């Protein structure tokens, strides 16, 4: 199988959503501004940037198709974050507002977006 272009990786990470693509491109620029290495995880279909000083909450935060992580994620965490990429694609630019409203009502492991993404994979169960 040949090399996949960065453009195709961005499209894949955004799950075909134009709004998610915009956020993906901005998050990639943010990671590169901090000179953090960025890689594309083929299995999860998302970009991963480890050690970005601002922008990661908890173990890390997904901005559409980009996961800004505090430390290198394992396969389970990448599965969890891939679901968040799907949520970004489904809800577009309204997703962060929906997420944080849900977080205000139901914190952490009770947040429906975290439940959908998989509590165990996201290290909430335990």
39 forms bridges with which residues in the sheet? Answer: 48
Q: What is the pTM of this model?
A: 0.92
Contacts 24+ apart (CB under 8 A), 58-63: 59/122, 59/123, 62/88, 63/23, 63/24, 63/26, 63/27, 63/30, 63/88
| Domain range enclosing 103 | 6-117
Instruction: Examine residue 92 and state whether it is found in any structural domain, yes or no.
Output: yes
For 82-119, write each residue's pLDDT tens digit.
Answer: 999 999 999 999 999 999 999 999 999 999 999 999 99
How far is it, in rounded angstroms, from Cα 11 to Cα 15?
6
Supply 54's token pair. 């601002």
Q: Are 100 and 28 in contact (CB under 8 A)?
A: no
- Number of domains comprising the chain: 1
For 34-74, write each residue's pLDDT tens digit.
Answer: 999 999 999 999 999 999 887 777 789 999 999 999 999 99
For 15-30, write each residue's pLDDT tens digit.
Answer: 999 999 999 999 999 9
Instruction: Examine residue 125 and state whether it is found in any structural domain, yes or no.
Output: no
Q: In the block, which residue shows the tokens 């799907």?
A: 86
């Amino acid at each position: 199988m040949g090399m996949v272009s960065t453009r195709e990786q961005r499209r894949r990470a955004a799950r075909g959503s134009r709004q998610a693509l915009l956020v993906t491109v901005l998050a990639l620029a943010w990671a590169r501004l901090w000179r953090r290495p960025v890689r594309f995880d083929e299995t999860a279909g998302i970009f991963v940037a480890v050690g970005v000083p601002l922008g990661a909450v908890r173990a890390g935060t997904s901005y559409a198709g980009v996961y800004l992580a505090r430390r290198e994620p394992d396969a389970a965490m990448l599965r969890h974050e891939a679901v968040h990429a799907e949520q970004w694609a489904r809800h577009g630019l309204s997703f962060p507002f929906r997420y944080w409203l849900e977080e205000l009502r139901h914190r952490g492991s009770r947040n429906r977006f975290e439940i959908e993404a998989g509590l165990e994979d996201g290290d909430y169960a335990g």
